Structure 1
Amino acid sequence: MTHASTIPAPTTEEAAAGRRVRPVPRPRRLPTTAATALGLFAAARLTGCLALAALARGDGRQPLALLGRSWDSLWYLGIAAHGYGRTLHFRTVVQSDMAFFPLYPGLVRAVTTAAPLSGGAAGLLVSWTAAALAAYGIYLVGARVRGPAVATVLVLLWGLLPHSVVLSMAYTEPVLTALAAWSLHAVLTGRWVWAGTLAALAGLSRPNGFAVAAAVMAAAAHELWRGRGQGQGGPGREHGEERKVTHRLWTGIALAPLGWAGYVLWVGRRTGDPLGGYFTVQRLWGSRFDLGDGSLGFMRHLLLRGDRFVFPLTMVIVAAGVLLFALLLAERVPVPLVVYSGVLLLVVLGGSGFFASKPRFLLPAFPLLLPLAGALVRTARARPWHAALVVGALAGLSFAYGAYLVVFSRTPL
């Protein structure tokens, strides 16, 4: 954090001439502890939930029921209660619960076994706990790469995204983000076994959880390449640094993809197609990776004919994600953060099906917010009212849009 500079004393000549010496303005100090970051995040999400509750009550609906038992939450709660095996058949779509990864329903099942809670309440407890752990992990990653001030704002921005209402619902994004943040922090601090273990768990949480394994393996490959260069008299050797590749790095590489690959192979075995079974299940849901062809067709439809309010805002959010990724590349952040965010963004851009869910799929990509957090910190120090207006506008959008999505929108989140 930048410290206040000392005000210089006037010189003898200036004093003799009677000149008035203007004091050098002190840079404004910002509260930058982890507790502050977590407090701001909790306040943001609590306010969002209160706005949702007010809207839901006005519509005669139960807020906790909406948060705990909406859309995909029902699938996860069904798996937690009864295991896999549910399939719904429609005219052109076959929806199997094997499209949903097992970690979140497993955690919900563990909570309902240990405590007298309903499935919805247990799902919310898991999600809220994971969101808090994710916020702390995001702070630690941000503090390591950009300092505590940027880290604090990074956590706040993550809690004020337009789709951040999902962080308060019985959904899997908080669990994935928590595992991703702590895995990335383990990579940045050289704890490869922890990084690989957490990446494996992230791979069991969601289909796009393999982005964490990709980040760990890319970081490990970069480390190996640097070690090789130093072994040949590279720049590290010139500065007298010793860089040894240990078995822990190889263990981390081996562990990272196990969760995601293990579940995909398990679904393949259950469906009779070991390598392609899981992807068939996703294709029958209408979800596939087609290099963006389906998404482009849908966007053409929106531009030519218009559609519900959710879809145009989805396009804006995805476009903002692309811009933020370009800014992230320009800031030269560590390799694992770039790879992790890039893989998540690639899945969003290249995947088809459930267009309105794309902003939710970007929620775990918190490193994309680093350039915005840095800019907001600089603005807060120079023009605090401008920064307050920006945060207020983001908060208003987040609270209003989140409540609308859950209470009134008929579009699956």
Structure 2
Amino acid sequence: MNDLASAAVPGRPPCDVPAARAALRRAAPALAAFAAIRLLGLVVLAVWSTADGKDWHTLLTARWDALWYTRVAEQGYGYTVQLPNGDVHSNLAFFPLLPWLERGLSALTPLSPADAGLVVTWLASLAAAWALYATGERLHGQRAGIALAALWAALPVGIVQSMAYSEALFTALAAWSLYAVLTGRWVWAGVLTSLAGLTRPVGAAVVAAVWISAAVTLWRQRAGGVRLRAALRAQPGLLPGVLLAPLGWCGFFLWVGARQGSFTGYLDVQGNWGNGFDGGIAFGTFVWHQLSGPAFAAGLGLLVGVGLAIWLYLRGVRQGQPLPLAVYGGTVLLLALTAKGYFGSKPRLMLPAYPLLLPLAVGLARWRPVRAWLVVGLVAAGSAAYGAFWLNGSGPP
């Protein structure tokens, strides 16, 4: 793992406007590539939806989870749906930051909460692409940063980055938080991690990355003979950042528990949705049923996809991926693979695991530009077609 202490920049101003402008100029090619790939996805979706007699705008803003977020923005928490089998689906399962932003933006503009959610997602996806570029550039150079942003845009489920869903917002907050850790901005890391914890349940992965990185940073300095107090002074803001990091996630978890009258209230809500963690038993059983039944090809595809994700993670670790990224990417991957229920959501749940793409980005950066962009273009075209097919079919649950 790269030494966090060597990557940190203690004492650097947290907000340097000229430096931010220069960083944005350097990121412009990555943002342009990201926007072009996502625009291609939207154009293909619009054409496909029109041919299928559906409205692309409705598919992006008013179906599946997007409807639940909009209801929270419009009505607050407390809405439930009782299914014929007796299960109760509560909107308490959905974390509040996206609906808060939807409500706030719709109050300040003529936009409806649903359209406000779309605007928030599009802006957040650009912010995430910038963070991915900045991370790739810092670790492996400009070309790797551009490749990382482009690959994230061209994922098979990349269309979710253009929906009124919370994945893009969460990825932006998580990626900038981890970048703050890499650059020694611990307070910023704590604030952004807290906001990520208000966005999705997997915000716990960002908290884990910040805490473990902070602990290892102090341990390395202590191992070098530095006293704890001196080590903390050498890392300005580390302790406040560590204390701030879990506030968002823990705050919502405890609030739902108090509202439900049980410390495990949020877990109970998720249980009623059929979600939870069983160590991957349910997912493994699902894959086995696919492999042993008529859907063998689908099961084989799932197995290959899981194997590829695990291989990319291990490859990144072997290449010396910095500790914050390794902890975060591994935790997101672990949570996605060990969760039960809604097996079709697995690819979407792994969308924020951008560190898994770093080995591919590094490899692309070593190719000749024409060859690299040809590959990215082909992958982007496949992503656009799959996204349109997906949303006009079963779509993301």
Both proteins in one fold, TM over 0.5: yes
Name 1:390's counterpart in structure 2.
Answer: 375
Name 1:236's counterpart in structure 2.
Answer: none
Q: Give, in angstroms, the shift of residue 178 of structure 1.
A: 0.5
Q: Is the 8 A contact 1:33 1:152 kept in 2?
A: no
Q: Does 1:401 align with 2:389?
A: no
Q: What SS does structure 2 have at the residue aligned with 1:107?
A: helix
Q: What SS does structure 2 have at the residue aligned with 1:231?
A: coil
Give the residue type in structure 1 aligned to 2:90.
Answer: S
Q: Does 1:58 align with 2:51?
A: yes
Of 104, 107, 113 in structure 2, the residue corresponding to residue 113 of structure 1 is 107
* TM-score where L is the length of structure 1: 0.86
Name 1:366's counterpart in structure 2.
Answer: 354
Q: Does 1:195 align with 2:189?
A: yes
Q: Give, in angstroms, the shift of residue 95 of structure 1.
A: 0.9
Q: Is the 8 A contact 2:167 2:352 kept in 1?
A: yes
Deviation per residue, 1:271-302 (Å, 9 max, x gap): 110x2111011111100110000101111111
Q: What SS does structure 2 have at the residue aligned with 1:88?
A: strand
Q: Does 1:412 align with 2:392?
A: no
Name 1:281's counterpart in structure 2.
Answer: 269
Q: What are the residue-to-residue correspondences of 1:143-182 with 2, within 5 Å?
A: 143-182=137-176
Q: Give, in angstroms, the shift of residue 410 of structure 1.
A: 1.9
Deviation per residue, 1:294-343 (Å, 9 max, x gap): 10111111111244987765544333211110111111111000001011
Output the aligned Cα RMSD.
2.0
Q: Does 1:326 align with 2:314?
A: yes
Deviation per residue, 1:153-184 (Å, 9 max, x gap): 10000000000000000000010011011101
Name 2:221's counterpart in structure 1.
Answer: 227
Q: How many pairs align?
A: 370
Q: What SS does structure 2 have at the residue aligned with 1:305?
A: coil
- Measured at CA, do residues 372 and 202 of structure 1 come closer, stay the same or move farther in structure 2, by a change above 3 Å? same
Q: Is the 8 A contact 1:37 1:152 kept in 2?
A: yes
Name 1:291's counterpart in structure 2.
Answer: 279
Larger Rg: 1
Q: Is the 8 A contact 2:348 2:396 kept in 1?
A: no
Name 1:48's counterpart in structure 2.
Answer: 41
Q: Is the 8 A contact 1:311 1:356 kept in 2?
A: no
Name 2:9's counterpart in structure 1.
Answer: none
Q: What SS does structure 2 have at the residue aligned with 1:79?
A: helix
Q: Is the 8 A contact 1:123 1:170 kept in 2?
A: yes
Name 2:244's counterpart in structure 1.
Answer: 255
CA–CA separation in structure 2 for the residues paired with 1:412 and 1:180: 22
Q: Give, in angstroms, the shift of residue 226 of structure 1.
A: 1.3
- Measured at CA, do residues 255 and 243 of structure 1 come closer, stay the same or move farther in structure 2, by a change above 3 Å? closer
CA–CA separation in structure 2 for the residues paired with 1:154 and 1:49: 20
Give the residue type in structure 2 aligned to 1:198.
Answer: L
Q: Is the 8 A contact 2:194 2:244 kept in 1?
A: yes
CA–CA separation in structure 1 for the residues paired with 2:310 and 2:341: 19
Q: Does 1:184 align with 2:178?
A: yes
Q: Give, in angstroms, the shift of residue 355 of structure 1.
A: 0.5
Name 1:213's counterpart in structure 2.
Answer: 207
Q: Give, in angstroms, the shift of residue 144 of structure 1.
A: 1.1
CA–CA separation in structure 2 for the residues paired with 1:281 and 1:180: 25
Give the residue type in structure 2 aligned to 1:280.
Answer: D
- What is the percent sequence identity of the aligned residues? 46
Give the residue type in structure 2 aligned to 1:370.
Answer: L
Give the residue type in structure 1 aligned to 2:365.
Answer: V
Residue segments in structure 2 that go unaligned for 5+ positions in a row: 1-24
Q: Is the 8 A contact 1:124 1:169 kept in 2?
A: yes
Q: What SS does structure 1 have at the residue aligned with 2:366?
A: helix
Q: Give, in angstroms, the shift of residue 397 of structure 1.
A: 1.8
Q: Is the 8 A contact 1:137 1:178 kept in 2?
A: yes
- Measured at CA, do residues 94 and 380 of structure 1 come closer, stay the same or move farther in structure 2, by a change above 3 Å? farther
Q: Give, in angstroms, the shift of residue 370 of structure 1.
A: 0.6
- Measured at CA, do residues 93 and 302 of structure 1 come closer, stay the same or move farther in structure 2, by a change above 3 Å? farther
Q: Give, in angstroms, the shift of residue 380 of structure 1.
A: 2.4
Residue segments in structure 1 that go unaligned for 5+ positions in a row: 1-31, 234-241
Q: Is the 8 A contact 1:317 1:359 kept in 2?
A: no
Q: Is the 8 A contact 1:196 1:254 kept in 2?
A: yes
Of 82, 107, 111 in structure 1, the residue corresponding to residue 75 of structure 2 is 82
Of 251, 257, 262 in structure 2, the residue corresponding to residue 268 of structure 1 is 257
Q: Give, in angstroms, the shift of residue 139 of structure 1.
A: 0.8
Q: What SS does structure 2 have at the residue aligned with 1:364?
A: coil
